[in-house]
Structure 1
Amino acid sequence: MQPVTFHVPGKPQGKARAKTVRNRSTGNVHSYIPEGDLLYENYIKNQFLNHAKGFYLEREKPVSLSIIARFLPPKSTSKKRQLDMLEGREMPLKKPDMDNIVKVVADALNGVAYHDDTQIAMVVAMKVYSAVEGLDITVEEYTG
């Protein structure tokens, strides 16, 4: 099966922690996923579906994910430093954390590209500076 490679435009976002609140009148505790996370996951899912052409890995198939998170260099930096950033001599050591980016992508593709994210056997992920921000994602069957 051919891998699916797609781009998710916009500033890369990580998965936020679930919010937990207590109802003062009943004392019950309730957790929920922030709306921004759900919107971003749906955005990733839709970008995948636009490129998938029927790609789906059944529950017995191991999955390989490749993620490149592309960030714009800050406008306040010098031209020389921006050039260093764009040519890979300086990496984006800033939020969101890479593990949170991987988590939001894995959750977004759950049930769409593969049966469950427990199938993910290998992840290759990196953050870079680029003239175009967004996520470049490749999903494929892991063959070892």
Structure 2
Amino acid sequence: MKVFLVIDGEPVGKERPRFNSATKRTHTPQKTKDYENLIKWLYQSKVKYHFIGYIKMTLRCYYSIAKSNSKKVKEQKRNNVLRPSKKPDIDNVIKVIADSLNEIAYKDDTQIVEIVASKYYSDRPRVEVILEDIS
């Protein structure tokens, strides 16, 4: 089985837990929680497939093109001559998506045994997620 999910909007990376010195507890930043909840909701409403065995995850992260860029630079970005080397780091985008889909798309993200991830520019920022069974 192969499933495809699009998360519209600028890619978001998993932020480090924050420590509250008053309560001596850690908490996940709200931006991360909100993005994880969006991913869960999208998967549950659009896909609904639950993987049992090994999984290959492919992510294509599309970052927005700055309006202030020259026409030449915008064209280079659209044609992948220039690629994003900016935050969030791709490993943090992988982490937030893999963690979000725990117990929804699969029992645990330890089932993911292969990952392909790439960053591009686009006029429509988004993250495309492909999950597929590996036999």
Instruction: Report the 3-state secondary structure (helix = DSSP H, G, I; strand = E; otherwise coil) of the residue aligned with 1:129.
Output: strand
Q: Which runs of 5+ in 2 are unaligned?
A: none
Q: How far is the alpha carbon of 1:111 from its aligned partner?
A: 0.7
**Structure 2 residue identity aligned to 1:84:** Q
Q: Which has the larger radius of gyration?
A: 1
Instruction: Report the 3-state secondary structure (helix = DSSP H, G, I; strand = E; otherwise coil) of the residue aligned with 2:69.
Output: coil
**Structure 2 residue identity aligned to 1:123:** I
Instruction: Report the 3-state secondary structure (helix = DSSP H, G, I; strand = E; otherwise coil) of the residue aligned with 1:122.
Output: strand
Aligned to 2:121: 129
- Which structure 2 residues correspond to residues 17-96 of structure 1 after superposition, within 5 A? 17-23=16-22, 29-52=24-47, 54-58=48-52, 61-96=53-88
Q: Which runs of 5+ in 1 are unaligned?
A: none
CA distance in 1, matches of 2:24, 2:66: 41
With normalisation by structure 2, the TM-score equals 0.95
RMSD: 1.1
Q: How far is the alpha carbon of 1:50 from its aligned partner?
A: 2.5
**Structure 2 residue identity aligned to 1:57:** F
Instruction: Report the 3-state secondary structure (helix = DSSP H, G, I; strand = E; otherwise coil) of the residue aligned with 2:15.
Output: coil
With normalisation by structure 1, the TM-score equals 0.89
Identity %: 32
